[in-house]
Amino acid sequence: MTQTLARLPGAARRLCLSRRRGEICTREKGHRGLHHRRGGALLWNDLQADPPECPAGGSPAEPAPRLDDGFPGGRSLCPTCWAFVPLQDDGTLRPHDTWRGDPTRADADRRREWFNTFGW
């Protein structure tokens, strides 16, 4: 059975999260050898990885709906990498790195609550 990143032990913080063509490496952070997506045939090295910058920076966006506690604080949900990104004064997404996992378990829990409340 496939599990979401947030349900894996330690959530995404323990995964490599290098990307190629948008697919995320599911090996442990700091692994040796090629990156790969568990259950797929896609293999890549660091030179073939997607750049860290998300290509959606500068795209028009609107603030995401807020939970009762205020999360995500006026940020918009990036439709490309699923990061919550601050908006620029002109209503576009600020340039940002592609989302590679939440830094803490608490952040992952708030993110999961948002998606369960408002959906994709």
Integer Cα distance of 64 and 61 in angstroms: 9
The pLDDT tens digits of the residues spanning 36-53 come to 887 777 899 999 998 889
- Among 15-24, 60-69, 92-101, the range of highest mean pLDDT: 60-69
Question: pLDDT tens digit string along 7-44?
Answer: 544 455 577 878 888 788 888 888 999 998 877 778 99
Do 45 and 35 form a contact (C-beta atoms < 8 A)? yes
pTM to 2 decimal places: 0.70
Whether the per-residue pLDDT at 94 is higher than 60: the answer is: yes
Q: What is the sign, positive or negative, of the torsion defined by CA atoms of 15, 61, 20, 41? A: positive
